[in-house]
Amino acid sequence: MKILVINAGSSSLKYQLIDMDGEIMVAKGNCERIGIDGKFTHKTFDGRVVTKEVDMPDHTAAFQQVKAALTEGEGKVIERLDEVTAIGHRIVQGGAKFDRSVLVTPQVIQDIAGYASLAPLHNKAHVQGINAAIAAFGDKVPQVVVFDTAFHQTMPPVAYMWGLPYEYYEKYGVRRYGFHGTSHRYVSHRCCELLGKPDGQGTKIITCHLGNGSSLAAVKDGKVIDTTMGLTPLDGFMMGTRSGAVDPSAVTFIMEKEHLSPSEMDIVLNKKSGMLGISGVSSDDRDVAAAVAQGNERAKLAWDMRTYQISKYIGGFITALGGLDAIVFTAGIGENQEVLRSELLHKLEYLGVKVDEEKNKVHGEEREITTPDSAVRGFVIPTNEELVIARDTKQLVEQL
């Protein structure tokens, strides 16, 4: 069974074709600058690469490129389009309604569109992506939606409510939802397997998804009890360009002083803050790390602020969990940035955590990075959100 995984953004459409017999990536690619001019990249499992500048006015046009790349020309990987059994879509915001992946129906599309007020850029693009997939593949090919928010739906109200007037929760659903759920689910399940408790019962884990966007989740008995991101993926600690949590009054204060509209302030908080905003160097972690090595003081401040902020969340989550069995690092920074991992684990020395510095330096593979006598086990587990989407899609399609 081959499954096409789609991640549709407002001006991009990433895809990956996965052969579920062996869970092998057959081809993957990206349609960028949709509605602007258009850049298309397609890579196959055996190293063939197709790139071209091509006009893609909308997501339907992008799907035509994907279809063509899969079935013809230099990057061809399948004979016929009907070899694609099903399509799985990544959806950012599933609100309180979706606590698991579901098959796409007209009602589901309507629900995703309805949650657009909570994730305007993302959910609108996802609906465009689903409709474009239906237009490209026909309505006989089953489609499944997998939500970033779903794994966090087990949070109790004490964790997901904020101290705002209750009516805003009732009227608009203002609460913590959490994101990166697909990744937290994948790595926490894998961690439970590594702990020898595949059903998760009796486990207390913190998963650290550290990428351009970053979040932590506290996972008890295999279920999320708290997470750092909130109504949107802005909450929590400093990220590449996102501020993370700040005193809400600082936001209204800056808006007044700088005469900024809500959408302008949104850009400040989401695109101009975080590691970029403090360091003034870059949002990319490698650039910031290089600047720190060269003695750039603001880069060092940004670096240290992030470590400090993450460690405070870790401390809070240990209390929320009532202890800690394991901590997992994943995503671009979590999998590759040994200095940050080491700093965060050293802050847990008071608990009896001992880092294996040699193992911590190994990159690109699943590994334990604490010593056998460490009181808490530390792991690097490479995430694979596309595979989770493909697995969920397969499971739902097989039930049809």
Q: Can you give the binding site for ligand ADP, defined by CB under 6 A?
A: 211-213, 240, 284-286, 331-333, 336-337
Task: State in angstroms the smallest separation of the CB of 77 from ligand ADP.
Answer: 24
> What residue has token string 């510095």?
357
- Cβ proximity to ligand ADP: between 85 and 296 the closer is 296
Helices 262-271/248-258 angle, 10° precision: 120
- Cβ proximity to ligand ADP: between 26 and 331 the closer is 331
Catalytic (active site) residue 148? yes
Distance of CA 324 to the CA centre of its chain: 23
- Cβ proximity to ligand ADP: between 83 and 284 the closer is 284
- Cβ proximity to ligand ADP: between 86 and 208 the closer is 208
- Look at residues 394, 201, 218, 231 and name the one whose alpha carbon lies nearest to residue 318: 218
Task: State in angstroms the smallest separation of the CB of 215 from ligand ADP.
Answer: 10
Task: State in angstroms the smallest separation of the CB of 355 from ligand ADP.
Answer: 18
Task: State in angstroms the smallest separation of the CB of 31 from ligand ADP.
Answer: 17
Which residues, 6 or more positions from 18, have their beta carbon under 8 angstroms from its beta carbon?
Answer: 2, 3, 4, 5, 24, 25, 26, 386, 387, 390
Token pair for 275: 């590691």
Token pair for 204: 């207390």
- Cβ proximity to ligand ADP: between 128 and 337 the closer is 337
d(CA 54, CA 343): 45
Task: State in angstroms the smallest separation of the CB of 385 from ligand ADP.
Answer: 9
* String of DSSP letters for 85-140: EEEEEEES--TTT-SS-EE--HHHHHHHHHGGGTSHHHHHHHHHHHHHHHHHH-TT
d(CA 266, CA 308): 24
- Look at residues 217, 99, 114, 239 and name the one whose alpha carbon lies nearest to residue 173: 114
Which residues, 6 or more positions from 290, have their beta carbon under 8 angstroms from its beta carbon?
Answer: none
Task: State in angstroms the smallest separation of the CB of 103 from ligand ADP.
Answer: 26
Given the residues 111, 148, 235, 325, the one annotated as active site: 148
**E strand spans, 284-352:** 326-330
Task: State in angstroms the smallest separation of the CB of 285 from ligand ADP.
Answer: 3
> Looking at beta carbons, which pairs linking 310-314 to residues 24 or more positions away fall under 8 Å?
310/208, 310/210, 310/216, 310/237, 310/344, 311/344, 311/347, 312/237, 313/216, 313/228, 313/236, 313/237, 314/206, 314/208, 314/216, 314/344, 314/347, 314/348
Q: How many CB atoms lie within 10 A of CB 137?
A: 20
Distance of CA 243 to the CA centre of its chain: 17
- Cβ proximity to ligand ADP: between 65 and 182 the closer is 182
- Cβ proximity to ligand ADP: between 175 and 242 the closer is 242
Which residues are part of the catalytic machinery?
A: 148
